[in-house]
Homo-oligomer: A and B are copies of this chain.
Amino acid sequence: MTETARANLENLYRIFTVPEAPDSTLGAIDQAITKNVADFLQKHVVALERSLDDIEKDFSTSHIPDEPTFVSDYTQFVKEKLVAQSVHTAAPGFIGHMTSALPYFMLPLSRIMTALNQNLVKVETSKAFTPLERQVLAMLHRLIYAQADSFYQQWIHDSRHALGAFCSGGTIANITALWAARNHLCSAQGDFQGLAVEGMHRTLEYLDCEGLAILVSRRGHYSLGKAADLLGIGRKYLIHVDTDVNNRIDMQCLRDEYNKLKQQNIRVLALVGIAGTTETGHVDPLEAMADFTAEIGCHFHIDAAWGGPTLFSDTHRHLVKGIERADSVTIDAHKQLYVPMGAGMVLFKDPHTLTAIEHHANYILREGSKDLGSHTLEGSRPGKAMLVHAGLSIIGRRGYELLIDQGIDKARRFAEMIVQHPNFELITAPELNILTYRYHPEWLQQQMTSLDSHRRQLVNQLLDQLTREIQKRQREAGKTFVSRTRLRSVVYGTEQITVFRVVLANPLATEAILDAVLEEQQEIVSAADLQTILSSVAEICQSAVQNG
């Protein structure tokens, strides 16, 4: 080996070695980063104003550098080009999406998780993390299903069964639930080896039906469309049922859709209830849905990715009543359990259901082993369950209850603020802690009701444009952030309108900040080009008066 080669190799070994002293170069960088991160987190700014096109220039080469870079130089790059240009999802003014602040203790604990680099697919690379993950699944199972102690004693560490599966997020959780439901419905019998082995085509021939269907309300999360596609069911067999005035599935429409499917010889695989729709935070009539699934005999899945932790609240638990009757429930820990990104779960009422997707291999997941990987969609997975365990332990039930309660209270107060404000219109009132609204000036509100439907539609289109512009400019200004979506409002019939969407999960979001959000939106509207939009609206109203 040459001198250079030896030197290179030694350098290489060094980066894999833990710095022994905190005053080593790496140790110092490490401490500087900790401080830098703390500084960043203390800033109450959502994002710096710089366009994506411009940011892309810093990430435009496709060449992997030949030679190594010093960690210190790279850290500098990260600080200037990445951290500074990130979205401050933890800022109290960032109330537009479901990602919010993290409890600070999550940071040092995440470091432990990363450093241990356990792989939860098998005991041989996780050991204590395997029982820990099973415990977390049991805790969440109990939160939902409240079975007896003896039930959990029997199943918590039973290697052949699973109370649920840990996933990278709610999408994988929903897919896992529907995968298990599909395979369970179409399991082996006689000569038929089951859908898992024989595939969809033969299964439908065997069942002598034209298709399998999944029913969900119009507010169903887009991951269900992916699931229908992925599972070979087909997106057109994901039936979006109409909703009532409160964005909840309409039970009569559900029954009608079911009857239509029956006439077409299409079998219902699953009904999906939503406990906290992504866009409006509403909860489906879970009890009625449970009755209906019992009647027609299909899997009942509840997507409680957002609303699941409402179960912690003595005051608001009733809102998700019926969740305990679901066959499976999705909960995202990176949402209202305040765990860093990448932690979802699906819980199954019956510990046998997941055997429908069980799989084995020769080098791991051997039959009878305690390897978690035999019941998960994913393979290698990090030990994120540890952070859920930490949240449940450190915050506790009472802590989560407080978080849920204050979020719902704050959403209600914000709704009142919007209702009382002359220039805003509340579109969907909060049932949990999500609401939608739009800018709608007082003078227009007075005239809107008397407009004919054609003019009303034109006005709404202009308001949509206004809402879109306000949302974009507010985001770009970077002080506060709300998101936007399009939905049907009861007031405007089947017409879809564009609205601001607000999610109130960050405990540090104060009423003063909510006030500032509305204030800033009003200010944005005063821009000349947006005033032009409003002039067009005024002209339409004017023409109505003249014609009237």
Contacts and interface: CB of A to CB of B under 8 A. Distances in A.
Interface string A500-538: 010000111000000000000000000000000000000
B78 A109 contact: yes
A543 interface: no
B34 A102 contact: no
A184 B111 CA distance: 41
A483 B135 contact: no
A456 interface: no
Contacts of A59: 128, 131-132, 134-135
Nearest to A97: B125
B66 A397 contact: yes
Given A105-B71, A222-B359, A112 B64 contact: no
Contact of A105 (B15, B101, B197): B15
Contact of A394 (B62, B74, B119): B74
Contacts of A363: 278-279, 483-486, 501
A195 B394 CA distance: 47
A185 interface: no
A430 interface: no
A62 B40 CA distance: 37
Contacts of A365: 222
A114 B124 contact: no
Given A128-B58, A235-B196, A382-B341, A508 B33 contact: no
Interface in A304-340: 332, 334, 340
A417 interface: no
Copies per complex of this chain:
2
A105 B97 CA distance: 31
Contacts of A380: 98-99, 169-171, 332, 334, 341-342
A255 interface: no
Contacts of A390: 74, 78
A30 interface: yes
A16 interface: yes
Interface in A53-73: 55-56, 58-71
Contacts of A82: 128-129, 132, 386
A243 interface: no
A36 to B, nearest CB: 8
A129 B52 CA distance: 10
Contact of A64 (B56, B124, B392): B392
A491 interface: no
Contacts of A35: 22
Interface string A210-228: 1110000000001101101
A345 interface: no
Contacts of A114: 102, 106-107, 110-111, 114, 340
B85 A97 contact: no
A362 B69 contact: no
A402 interface: yes
A49 to B, nearest CB: 11
Nearest to A149: B62
B89 A135 contact: no
What 6 pairs between A and B have smallest CB-CB spacing? A232-B232, A199-B234, A85-B128, A363-B485, A200-B232, A171-B379
7 contacts: A12-B399, A59-B132, A87-B124, A97-B122, A107-B111, A197-B229, A363-B485
